[in-house]
Chains A and B, each alone.
Chain A
Amino acid sequence: MIIKQLSIFLENKTGRVCDIASILGDNNINIRALSLADTSDFGIMRLIVDKPDAALARLKERGFSVGITSVAAVEIPDVPGGLASVMKTIESGGFNIEYMYAFVEKSHDNAILIMRFENVENVVDKLYEKGVRVLKEKEVLSL
């Protein structure tokens, strides 16, 4: 239930996101989810892709600083209050979210939250016990 997320260091220069997207596209790698965190100098692009290992290798070849980070994917109902209920569970467990981003599933009425915790393995187990639907890697990649 741990998902591999690619994290890529980017300088704030024009064309860098385009470069990454092209490398992935040329290698037939599909992006499932994306988020970009930035400061005035640099940014970190976080990606969930269907072939993370291949993406890592291709991007490294091209000289990018890339890492694989373990994250959790949590499914919540795509209705008002859906996020709040999951957040309450997380909060009551005392888990600290480093960052998160969301996307909406195409074929279901659900949204997916990608969340990074400091100790993601433990957190995932606890969330699962509390009835939060944590997606398996296969499920995320086949979305």
Chain B
Amino acid sequence: MIWNKEMETMSQGELRCRQGENLVKLVNTLYGKVPFYRRKMEEKGISPSDVSSIDDISLLPFTTKDEMREVYPYGLLSVEKREIVEVHMSSGTTGKSVVDAYTKNDIDIWGEVMARTLSMGGTTSDDIVQNAFGYGLFTGGFGVHYGAGKIGATVLPISGGNTKRQIDVMLDFGSTVITCTPSYSLYLAEFGKEEGVDFSKLKLRAGFFGAEPWSESMREEIESKLHLKAFDIYGLTEIIGPGVAAECEFHNGLHIFEDHFYPEIISQETGEPVKEGEKGELVITTLTKTGTPILRYRTRDITYFINEKCPCGRTLRKMHRLLGRTDDMLIIRGVNIFPSQIEQVLFRIEGVEPHYQLIVERKGHLDTLEVQVEMNEAIFSDEIRRLESLERNMEKELHSNLGIHAKVKLVEPKSISRSEGKAKRIIDKRNLR
């Protein structure tokens, strides 16, 4: 179901004209109202008159997360403070928070793009949306809330955690749609199963999962355990929160809502655009936001454009589901790998479940990677040699698919901590200076 036919099926030519008009407006605003951007443009020798179409975007400066932190809390505001109606921010676990300040206009946009997102999975006013994304300063909860509200669905704003209650509410209210992180959805499935819940008898039919990279095999796992269609959604606090891009029912890439968020893919080393279809770092410009608009934000997320006409009818460009983050990327003896790639390989092996952790250490001058995989009933054997051969088999698969030498270690069930938010996959014990 297409929420906004006009915008979501517009011809690329027409879209580029609109994007160009909005970019010109944006650059003028930023130059006039935000000293941070004026200075950056001046440093590059650019003035607003140099920008006349969307193609000129490559002249403009990037914005990084660190820069956004430096101007905490209000350094990126392009309107008077009184026009701000809501503020969200990142958790700030790795430094100062990144702030997203929304005007009334921005909240409307947010509701619009999230309504499009939820409609991709067929959400209508008949649905009951159990929103298990966290409410609060984090953007997940409110983003889904505004989108579902726009559609007119019933929202259960249960927020994250309290898994027993999640299950009870799901049963009592007959939730048809669930929204949370993919790793939490599996935790819910596991918890529910232990409580004797038969998910095939529940009314759940669609799930929207995001806030961390996940794989195709994890989708299969979620779909078979929770008996629903799983949709990948993408967004980030720096841009708006969830609602930057989402998967349609064909599950082959995420349509980017590029009338609002202009995407580029660049080489993370050179900052230049990559060749058509090559993978690189996603960069986003907010074309229509008015509170804290952002120019060419370096997301640190790795993906590539999928250039194909989507059978769903949308003309919005698609990107591949995230391959990882530049800062999640592990470099093990010179080989670049993302946890999602390891996950993909492991789950192709019969019976292996998505509970794993990567331990990186440096022994002498060599990096070592240990992949801990939880034991479960499907792979349990009474015979040591079977278990050892399972470990060796996983190591062989990792080597032949990714070219890495990892040591696979089976660990006891539930010994890897389950997260209610983003799963912690990597423990890096290397002390690199």
Which residues of A are interface residues toward B (Cβ below 8 A)? 5, 7, 9-11, 16, 37-39, 41-42, 44, 46, 63-65, 67, 69, 98-99, 116
Distance of A42 Cα from B387 Cα, bound (Å): 10
Q: Check B384 for interface membership: any CB of A closer than 8 A.
A: yes
Q: How far is the CB of B382 from chain A (nearest CB, A)?
A: 4
Q: Which residues of B sit under 8 angstroms from A42, Cβ to Cβ?
A: 387, 409-411
- Please give me the 3 A-B residue pairs with the lowest Cβ-Cβ distance, nearest first: A7-B382, A69-B382, A65-B375
Between B375, B376, B381, B412, the greatest number of chain A beta carbons within 10 A of the residue's beta carbon is seen for B412
Contact with A along B358-392 (1 / 0, CB 8 A): 00000000000000000111001111100110010
Distance of A64 Cα from B387 Cα, bound (Å): 16
Distance of A75 Cα from B183 Cα, bound (Å): 51
Q: Check B413 for interface membership: any CB of A closer than 8 A.
A: yes
Q: Check B415 for interface membership: any CB of A closer than 8 A.
A: yes
The answer to whether B382 and A44 have CB atoms under 8 Å apart is yes
The answer to whether A63 and B412 have CB atoms under 8 Å apart is yes
The answer to whether B411 and A11 have CB atoms under 8 Å apart is yes
The answer to whether B375 and A9 have CB atoms under 8 Å apart is yes
- Number of chain B residues close to chain A: CB under 8 A: 18
Q: Chain B: interface secondary structure?
A: loop
Q: How far is the CB of B409 from chain A (nearest CB, A)?
A: 5
The answer to whether A64 and B380 have CB atoms under 8 Å apart is no
Knowing A63-B413, A65-B375, A65-B412 are in contact, say whether A9-B383 is a contact too (CB < 8 A).
no
Contact with A along B36-68 (1 / 0, CB 8 A): 000000000000000000000000000000000
Q: Chain A: interface secondary structure?
A: strand
Q: Which residues of B sit under 8 angstroms from A69, Cβ to Cβ?
A: 382
Contact sample, A vs B, 19 pairs, CB 8 Å cutoff: A9-B375, A9-B387, A9-B410, A16-B412, A37-B384, A39-B388, A41-B391, A42-B409, A44-B384, A44-B387, A63-B413, A63-B414, A64-B412, A65-B376, A65-B377, A65-B412, A67-B382, A98-B383, A116-B382
Total contacts A-B at CB 8 Å: 47
Q: How far is the CB of B169 from chain A (nearest CB, A)?
A: 25
Q: How far is the CB of B406 from chain A (nearest CB, A)?
A: 14
The answer to whether A67 and B415 have CB atoms under 8 Å apart is no
Q: Which residues of A sit under 8 angstroms from B376, Cβ to Cβ?
A: 65
Q: How far is the CB of A95 from chain B (nearest CB, A)?
A: 16
Which residues of B are interface residues toward A (Cβ below 8 A)? 375-377, 380-384, 387-388, 391, 409-415
Q: How far is the CB of B79 from chain A (nearest CB, A)?
A: 53
The answer to whether B382 and A11 have CB atoms under 8 Å apart is no
Q: Which residues of A sit under 8 angstroms from B380, Cβ to Cβ?
A: 9, 65, 67
Between A9, A38, A116, the greatest number of chain B beta carbons within 10 A of the residue's beta carbon is seen for A9
Distance of A11 Cα from B354 Cα, bound (Å): 19
Distance of A98 Cα from B415 Cα, bound (Å): 29
Knowing A65-B375, A65-B376, A65-B377 are in contact, say whether A11-B415 is a contact too (CB < 8 A).
yes
The answer to whether B383 and A10 have CB atoms under 8 Å apart is no
Q: Which residues of B sit under 8 angstroms from A41, Cβ to Cβ?
A: 391, 409-410
Distance of A44 Cα from B375 Cα, bound (Å): 12
Knowing A65-B375, A65-B376, A65-B377 are in contact, say whether A9-B384 is a contact too (CB < 8 A).
no
Between B375, B380, B382, B383, the greatest number of chain A beta carbons within 10 A of the residue's beta carbon is seen for B382
Nearest B residue to A70 by beta-carbon distance? B382
Distance of A42 Cα from B407 Cα, bound (Å): 14
Q: Which residues of B sit under 8 angstroms from A37, Cβ to Cβ?
A: 384
Q: How far is the CB of A15 from chain B (nearest CB, A)?
A: 12
The answer to whether A64 and B388 have CB atoms under 8 Å apart is no
Distance of A41 Cα from B376 Cα, bound (Å): 16
Nearest A residue to B387 by beta-carbon distance? A42
Q: How far is the CB of A29 from chain B (nearest CB, A)?
A: 19
The answer, among A9, A98, A99, for a CB contact under 8 Å with B412, is: A9
Q: How far is the CB of B251 from chain A (nearest CB, A)?
A: 33
Distance of A7 Cα from B375 Cα, bound (Å): 13
Q: How far is the CB of B195 from chain A (nearest CB, A)?
A: 13
Q: How far is the CB of A65 from chain B (nearest CB, A)?
A: 4
Q: Which residues of A sit under 8 angstroms from B377, Cβ to Cβ?
A: 65, 67
Q: Which residues of B sit under 8 angstroms from A65, Cβ to Cβ?
A: 375-377, 380, 412-413
Nearest A residue to B381 by beta-carbon distance? A67
Distance of A10 Cα from B411 Cα, bound (Å): 8
Nearest A residue to B382 by beta-carbon distance? A7
Distance of A66 Cα from B381 Cα, bound (Å): 9
Nearest B residue to A7 by beta-carbon distance? B382
Distance of A64 Cα from B413 Cα, bound (Å): 7
**9 new A-B contacts at CB < 8 Å, known A7-B382, A37-B384:** A9-B387, A10-B412, A38-B384, A39-B388, A41-B410, A44-B384, A64-B413, A65-B376, A65-B413
Q: How far is the CB of B388 from chain A (nearest CB, A)?
A: 6
Q: Which residues of A sit under 8 angstroms from B384, Cβ to Cβ?
A: 37-39, 44
The answer to whether B412 and A11 have CB atoms under 8 Å apart is yes
Distance of A65 Cα from B412 Cα, bound (Å): 7
Q: How far is the CB of A47 from chain B (nearest CB, A)?
A: 11
Q: Which residues of A sit under 8 angstroms from B414, Cβ to Cβ?
A: 63
Nearest A residue to B379 by beta-carbon distance? A65
Between A38, A41, A69, the greatest number of chain B beta carbons within 10 A of the residue's beta carbon is seen for A41
Q: Which residues of A sit under 8 angstroms from B375, Cβ to Cβ?
A: 9, 65
